[in-house]
Structure 1
Amino acid sequence: MRDLTELQHRVAAGLPAYLGIRITHVAEGELHAELTLRPELMAVNGYLHAGTVVSLADTAAGFGCVAHLPDGADNFTTIELKSNHVGTARAGTVACVARLVHGGRTTQVWDATVSHVETGKVIAHYRATQLILYPRG
């Protein structure tokens, strides 16, 4: 399993960095991430944009996968994702807890729950399947 410092360094690039996503915890079969809300992450109606929620959950599940790659694997790609949005937020921090449901040699399945830190209310349930990639040759 990769350590928290390495994952925090890797999340500091690309879309996760642009959105402000932070990885806060990694343990066996689990990864936590969070995001402070700001106007740019909202939909035109003033509520949290669904794409922001999915990006947070997908980042948590993806970095969870990276942290738990099987021996010999060097990367992954998401092959399916699904989210159910059951709440929203307008300010504060949203947190995501991603948990490994299936950790095979060719696929991993991660479930994630996104919630509003200040109220504890669940915002979304998310599931992703990742294809494990191995070096060619």
Structure 2
Amino acid sequence: MSENFAADFTERQKGHLPGELDIEWELVARGEARGRFTVTQRHMAPNGFLHAASVIALADSACGYGCVVSRPQGATGFTTLELKSNFLGTAREGVVTCRAWLVHGGRTTQVWDAEVRHEETGKVIALFRCTQMILWPKA
């Protein structure tokens, strides 16, 4: 089992968007990340439904945090090249969870998939695919 960096990322995100959305991390490890938030007014759109940006912030953070701990030795960071999302449902209350997993871990790119669910119903809210470019020190 890989080392779990969930507490480190929870602390690190304070004062940034994931912290402002009260995203909690259960697991941030090599090849996988799992997080969640409890739906509150801050996660909602004015139309009374879960804001797509709240769901994207959860999934993108899961993929990004997983990328950080899964990058090749010597890499200095990453940047997101592409984020694809398909929304299949919503939530108005309860807990929204995300599981992200590494699909491709190359030297120059990583590809992550993520699934966002409503915890109480088990229904899938959204599916994601993120491609990250691995950053290296300048030669």
- TM-score, normalised on structure 1? 0.93
Instruction: Please tell me whether the aligned partners of residues 30 and 66 of structure 2 are also in contact (alpha carbons under 8 angstroms).
Output: no
Size of the aligned set, in residue pairs, is: 137
Instruction: Please tell me whether the aligned partners of residues 97 and 113 of structure 1 are also in contact (alpha carbons under 8 angstroms).
Output: yes
Code of the aligned partner of 1:102: H
Other-structure match for 1:9 = 11
**Counterpart of 1:45 in 2: which secondary structure?**
coil
- Runs of 4+ that moved beyond 4 A: none
Deviation at residue 2 of structure 1 after TM alignment: 6.1
Other-structure match for 2:61 = 59
CA distance in 2, matches of 1:45, 1:21: 22
Instruction: Please tell me whether the aligned partners of residues 82 and 126 of structure 1 are also in contact (alpha carbons under 8 angstroms).
Output: yes
> Is 2:128 the partner of 1:117?
no
Alignment root-mean-square deviation, CA: 1.4
Deviation sequence 1:9-28 (CA, Å, 0-9, x none): 22334111111111111344
Structure 2 counterparts to residues 1-137 of structure 1, below 5 A: 3-4=4-5, 5-137=7-139
- TM-score, normalised on structure 2? 0.92
Identity, % of aligned pairs?
53
CA distance in 2, matches of 1:135, 1:93: 40
* Runs of 5+ unmatched residues, structure 2: none
Deviates more, 1:9-18 or 1:38-47: 9-18
